[in-house]
Amino acid sequence: MTRMRPQDILMPVAAGLCCKPGGFHIDPIRPVERAVITHGHSDHARPGHGAVLATQETLDMMRLRYGDNFAGTTQAIAYGEQIKLGDVRIKLHPAGHVLGSAQIAVSCKDTCIVASGDYKDAPDPTCAPFEVVPCDVFITEATFGLPVFRHGHAADEIKKLLASVALFPERAHLVGAYSLGKAQRVIALLRAAGYDAPIYLHGAMEKITRYYESRGVALGELRLVKGMKKADLAGTITLAPPSATSDIWTRRFPDPVTAFASGWMRVRARARQRGVELPLVISDHADWDGLTATIDATGAGEVWVTHGQEDALVHWCTAKGLAARPLDLVGYGEEDEGDTVPLGEDAEA
């Protein structure tokens, strides 16, 4: 077998990562004929493609978000299942980011490239754990690709939240969290910490959270905020999209403590800027140590770095003797960009 140049297998184009020999794009930002999607967040999973290939969960998330006709055709691929597209073989492996998230391993002749999508190597009871996939080229995200980003243990942040609830029994706690993945993980972490009271949800979170439950993720008793008396919400915890926590919607709560669960809460200025009283450093992305450990573990001799703090990670790779370059793909960012509450939805929350 002859070794193919990686850039002849996958290359960045305006629409995203393109695999010419396979006739598909990975997480394209504009409509294409055939898309392989890593996970359901709106900066990666967009409607309008001719065909979409992804895990069943990702296809279901897209259906929940965009309606039944989000793509011409769909094909569900299980983790570990290999399929042939054109001249390449692809296989999906768990990425540990959110339910159904996958890394895409693309093999052509004897060259294997793994596109990570978004990933984390920290434990998460709501999705399959990240799997290291040995490869020649590893395409890694770098959302938190600076040494300052070390997330610590999510369980410790949950302890902080529960200590605040105990300290302020007369106040409601509002936790801003992305509707897909983060909200369900925070609920599961609260349950793991022994919190068994009902947890309240903003209406925009209900569909995806109920979907998680339908896939066997146990989240305990959940209630919608809608219809609750203000006084009855004292001492409770409510999960809401980040955009709702600084909204008129919060007036229905007694003297709310605003929390936000995000890796960005490591940056105090970000918390202040958002008016967050209780920052919770809980991230669904790998931190600096996670990124560098994962690159090491793949055994890849070449690393392509995308969406995030690319330069520091490229520098780290080259210092280790690895070939590395930034991909400079545009159109990917924080999930909450697609997590704003639709107009009029506050009334239904």
The domain ranges of the chain are 6-148+284-336, 154-282
Q: Percentage of the chain with pLDDT > 90?
A: 90
Lowest model confidence (mean pLDDT) among 4-8, 103-107, 186-190: 4-8
pLDDT bracket for residue 2 (50, 70, 90): low
Please indicate whether the domains covering 6-148+284-336 and 154-282 agree at the CATH topology level.
Answer: no
Q: Is the pLDDT of residue 340 over 60?
A: no
Q: Is the pLDDT of residue 335 over 90?
A: no
Lowest model confidence (mean pLDDT) among 42-51, 287-296, 321-330: 321-330
3-state secondary structure of 34: strand
The DSSP secondary-structure symbol of 43 reads: T
CA pair distance 145, 163, nearest whole angstrom: 31
Q: Is the pLDDT of residue 348 over 90?
A: no
Pick the CATH number of 154-282 from 3.40.50.300, 3.40.605.10, 3.40.50.10890, 1.10.10.10: 3.40.50.10890
Determine the topology of domain 6-148+284-336 in CATH: Metallo-beta-lactamase; Chain A (3.60.15)
Mean of all residue pLDDT scores within the chain: 93
Q: Is residue 304 within 8 Å of 137, Cβ to Cβ?
A: yes
The strand pairing partners of 73, in sequence order, are: 51
What pLDDT score does 306 carry? 94
DSSP E strand boundaries for the chain: 11-13, 16-19, 24-26, 34-36, 49-54, 71-76, 82-85, 88-94, 102-108, 111-115, 137-142, 173-176, 199-201, 222-224, 237-240, 257-261, 278-280, 302-308, 323-326
Q: Is the pLDDT of residue 7 over 80?
A: yes
**CB neighbours of residue 16 within 10 Å:** 22
Query: Nearest 10 degrees: CA dihedral of 97, 70, 242, 17?
Result: 50
What pLDDT score does 112 carry? 97
Q: Is residue 260 within 8 Å of 280, Cβ to Cβ?
A: yes
Burial status of residue 303 (CB atoms within 10 A of its CB: 0-12, 13-18, 19 or more): buried
Q: Is the pLDDT of residue 72 over 60?
A: yes
What pLDDT score does 83 carry? 98
Q: Which parts of 22-105 fold into alpha helices (H)?
A: 56-66
Q: Is the pLDDT of residue 346 over 90?
A: no
What pLDDT score does 1 carry? 53
Q: Is the pLDDT of residue 111 over 50?
A: yes
Lowest model confidence (mean pLDDT) among 2-16, 60-74, 99-113: 2-16
